Structure 1
Amino acid sequence: MSSILQPAALSNARGVYVIAPTPFHEDGRIDEASIDRMTDFYRAAGVTGITALGQMGEAPKLDQQEALSVAARIIARAGVPVIVGVSAPGFAAMRALARDVMEMGAAGVMIAPPSTLRTDDQIVAYYRQAAEAIGTDVPFVVQDYPLTFSVVMTPGVIHRIVMENPSCVMLKHEDWPGLDKISALRAFERDGSMRHISILCGNGGLFLDFEMERGADGAMTGYCFPDMLVDVVRLSAAGERDAAHDLFDAHLPLIRYEQQQGVGLSVRKYVLMRRGIIASDAQRKPGAGLSAAARAEVDYLLARLARVDARADLADRLAAAS
């Protein structure tokens, strides 16, 4: 099985694993040129990894061949470890996609829990069965996002999953409030009751400033300025607390706006288009774009942000596109 790095390396992953959206043409076709440009941008921005076919990658809207094609294109071009989302209703489809992307050179896969899980034992059993289904040689990431999946994982449940499955190497932490969960997991490591795993945080970076201080290793999310996330993680890791918070605070109004349920991907794609990274902000149906009023609000937020971060100064791009 081909991979860009040894499986154990993911348990020590740090930095930013950016969630890659899937660029589409206006007619719904996959935009391969934009995939290439986006992948090149992420690498130039300093990300340490890329996550493809995640929830914000519109993976459920792709057929199997399209999903493989998107993953293969990113893996071949990235030059950094790529994690691929393989969540599926059944284990047969999950195994097929996981084995295929690992053969392509993926570093690991990400698995979200089905919304039918309710008890701690059900959650732990699901991940045990998932690990067996995809193969215990495949490193996997647990996606903990109760606000979307309606599955609540306590620190004790995550502890059990990690200790029962040696191939579990990372937690994508998206619980909120969830800062104390990070502290609890790191306490398990300090007392020797749980082996170390990487903790990368999502939620559009909404709590990244304090998540880093609680012991997170970085971010796994797709905010429209991933280069800012890279800077915040770097500054925090270097102990430059005020500088990290100052930069984060400048972006917080746009982060908050992008975090709106239902329109977050529309905001993200719109700004990536404004930045020249993808050609269109189109989503594959079903999916709604931004209203004219919402676009004007995002443009206003960008103009305010540009006062302190030149990366948000997109006035010339907007004029050129008009």
Structure 2
Amino acid sequence: MITGSLVALVTPMHEDGSIHWEHLDALLDFHLENGTHGIVAVGTTGESSTLDPNEHCKVIGHIIKYLDGRIPVIAGTGGNSTREAIHLTTEAYKLGADACLLVVPYYNKPSQEGLYRHFRAIAEAVPVNQIVYNVPGRTACDMLNETVERLADIPNIVGIKDATGNIPRGIELINAVSGRMVVYSGDDATAAELMLAGGKGNISVTANVAPRAMASLCEAAIAGDRAETERLNELLMPLNRKLFLEANPIPVKWALHRLGHLDDGIRLPLTSLHEQFHGEVEDALVAAGVL
């Protein structure tokens, strides 16, 4: 089981939008040095929507090769086309990914039956461990707990990233799929409470800039240490909020640029963080002790 702080890694880019491979390696070293438990490669935060399929697979393969088994790699391979998701998941499996993360199809607004058949088709086509990902705020489609319960009976669908931010609903889901599937948070602001309730980790944006603190928070929460979890959560809460002042990954890429880890590179239609938000993100970095 993959557990703990699983960073939703940004994809470093030069100012012209081309991938910055040297900065990618440096970021991976940064996470190894600071206790991150796993890397999520080319998810939403990694700008999966602006990388072409060849680049998508190349980044996943580069990360897997560079880490060489030191920590797990979860490859983002979802899509709103079932055929495309199967293709990307197959390629990630061939490259050696430990698991794949598959977002609910966006824009299409499939039915609950359509969602079930979509994820079942991918699981049956590719024998890699798979984590489904529900983020209705971005996909305009909410996968209900009842549908997740059905998916939990498929052997290689081993987890769900729940980014609803709804703790009562998350607790209900943890109880419903216990022993068949693990639940990860996909919402930094509510991750601590979900892990204290039985979640097994956090697929985190905040971990990009505060990896050590997020790793410690996840360890404490999974161990049931409420006092330490709450202390660390309070430390990180300004970042959890301010890193979403504009659409992810705009603020977190600017924050990493401010910390000296990245060039100010991002691909259209995304643009660099608006100047009016710079001070708020800087203040959050200072509050977390990383700037």
| Shorter-chain TM-score above 0.5 | yes
Report if aligned partners of 2:48, 2:56 keep a CA contact under 8 Å in 1.
Answer: yes
The one of 30, 35, 58 aligned to 1:41: 30
Counterpart CA distance in 1 for 2:89 and 2:221 is 33
The one of 174, 183, 189 aligned to 2:171: 183
**Which secondary structure does the structure 1 equivalent of 2:39 belong to?**
strand
The one of 125, 129, 143 aligned to 2:117: 125
Unaligned runs of 5+ in 1: 1-11, 315-322
Report if aligned partners of 1:15, 1:234 keep a CA contact under 8 Å in 2.
Answer: yes
**What is the match of residue 231 of structure 1?**
216
AA aligned opposite 2:250: S
Counterpart CA distance in 2 for 1:89 and 1:175 is 19
**What is the match of residue 102 of structure 2?**
111
1:168 paired to 2:128: no
Q: CA deviation at 1:189?
A: 4.6
**Which secondary structure does the structure 2 equivalent of 1:72 belong to?**
helix
**What is the match of residue 98 of structure 1?**
89
When the two chains are superposed, the root-mean-square deviation of aligned CA atoms in Å is 1.8
1:297 paired to 2:280: yes
Q: CA deviation at 1:92?
A: 3.2
Q: CA deviation at 1:254?
A: 2.2
The TM-score normalised by the length of structure 2 is 0.91
Structure showing greater radius of gyration is: 1
Counterpart CA distance in 2 for 1:13 and 1:240 is 20
Post-superposition CA distance 1:80-104 (Å, at most 9, x none): 1111111234333322222222121
Bigger helix fraction: 1
Q: CA deviation at 1:114?
A: 1.6
Q: Once structures 1 and 2 are overlaid, which stretch shifts more, 286-295 or 52-61?
A: 286-295
Report if aligned partners of 2:196, 2:224 keep a CA contact under 8 Å in 1.
Answer: no
**What is the match of residue 9 of structure 1?**
none
Q: How many residues align?
A: 286
Post-superposition CA distance 1:221-278 (Å, at most 9, x none): 221323221111112233331221122112212211112342x3222112222333x3
Q: CA deviation at 1:24?
A: 0.3
Counterpart CA distance in 2 for 1:296 and 1:96 is 42
**Which secondary structure does the structure 2 equivalent of 1:61 belong to?**
coil
AA aligned opposite 2:35: G
The TM-score normalised by the length of structure 1 is 0.83
1:296–1:186 Cα change, 3 Å: closer
**What is the match of residue 244 of structure 1?**
229
- Which aligned pairs between 1:1-322 and structure 2 lie closer than 5 A? 12-78=1-67, 79-115=70-106, 116-132=108-124, 134-135=125-126, 137-163=127-153, 165-177=154-166, 179-189=167-177, 195-203=179-187, 205-223=188-206, 224-262=209-247, 264-276=248-260, 278-303=261-286, 305=287, 309-310=288-289, 312=290, 314=291
1:13–1:210 Cα change, 3 Å: same
**Which secondary structure does the structure 2 equivalent of 1:206 belong to?**
helix
